[in-house]
């Protein structure tokens, strides 16, 4: 089989944090690799478990870094979470929104009414990360979840990378509510659950997607669960020792130092991960 990128894949699904950028800065090799993919005619979609920002803000960030992207090429776990929420609550319902602007925007774009108190008679709860997430917001979530409302988490990442190190992720906040209520979310929008990847693939109509990420337990596991090839880049949270211990759904198809592997001339055969 040809080793050219466009012959192997018709869509690249990029995780963002730790793959394309960390905080405000591009990951080394990322800009060059994505530009090379564009030049080879391969579509790119940016999928993120980070629900704190709406797609327009993500696009602005990508463009500031020098990546040409459109809002419909960004899929967030908040959007995937709203899709799941629609299976449990009527259209146009009030929803208790826990998290940042991305959670509120995802609800509004699908016609739901975000509210901030369990006393506002919500029909469900959507919980995602927010940089200013407060004890008060978690308390409202606890009240609503205790009352038995349908509860969707955007994702369950315990941490996310920042320029100063790993910070608590949405999964840590979800665990706080779960511990207080004795309940678990009935659905999860983000990786490794399939909703986020399914939404991105459906938008593009792709048949040969490649999942690219830096986390074994979310990015790589998500791709493997859907039966699509995966590429692990060693620019985020996964260490060489963790990769060596990967098993089952967390074993990547390919491994590369960074996204510069997307440039022409790469031997994808050589990037295949042979776990020993």
Active site residues: 15, 17
Q: How far is CA 196 from CA 48, 233, 249, in A?
A: 8, 20, 17
Distance from C-alpha of 142 to C-alpha of 124, rounded to nearest angstrom: 12
Distance from C-alpha of 191 to C-alpha of 195, rounded to nearest angstrom: 8
Burial class from Cβ neighbours inside 10 Å (0-12, 13-18, 19+) for residue 113 reads middle
Distance from C-alpha of 108 to C-alpha of 222, rounded to nearest angstrom: 27
Strands 151-153 and 187-188 turn out to be parallel
Strands 25-26 and 21-22 turn out to be antiparallel
- Close Cβ partners of 40 (under 8 Å, ≥ 6 residues apart): 4, 5, 6, 264
């Amino acid at each position: 089989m040809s080793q050219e990128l466009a012959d192997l894949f018709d869509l690249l699904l990029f995780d963002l944090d730790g793959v394309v950028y960390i905080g405000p800065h591009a990951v080394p090799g990322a800009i060059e690799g994505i530009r090379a993919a564009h030049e080879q005619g391969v579509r790119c979609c940016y999928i993120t478990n980070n629900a704190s920002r709406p797609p327009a803000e993500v696009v602005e960030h990508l463009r500031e870094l020098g990546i040409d992207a459109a809002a419909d090429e960004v899929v967030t776990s908040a959007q995937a979470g709203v899709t799941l929420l629609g299976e449990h609550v009527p259209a146009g319902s009030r929803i208790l929104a826990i998290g940042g602007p991305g959670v509120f925007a995802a609800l509004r774009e699908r016609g739901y009414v975000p509210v901030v108190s369990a006393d506002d008679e919500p029909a469900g709860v959507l919980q995602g990360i927010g940089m200013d997430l407060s004890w008060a917001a978690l308390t409202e979530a606890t009240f609503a979840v205790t009352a038995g409302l349908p509860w969707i988490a955007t994702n369950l990442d315990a941490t996310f990378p920042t320029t100063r190190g790993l910070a608590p992720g949405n999964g840590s906040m979800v665990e706080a509510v779960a511990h207080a209520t004795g309940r678990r979310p009935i659905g999860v929008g983000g990786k490794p659950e399939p909703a986020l990847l399914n939404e991105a693939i459906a938008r593009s109509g792709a048949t040969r997607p490649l999942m690219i990420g830096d986390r074994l337990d979310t990015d790589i596991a998500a791709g493997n669960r859907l039966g699509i090839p995966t590429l692990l880049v060693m620019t985020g949270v996964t260490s060489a020792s963790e990769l060596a211990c990967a098993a089952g759904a967390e074993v990547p198809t390919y491994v590369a130092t960074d996204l510069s592997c997307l440039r022409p001339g790469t031997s994808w055969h050589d990037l295949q991960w042979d776990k020993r």
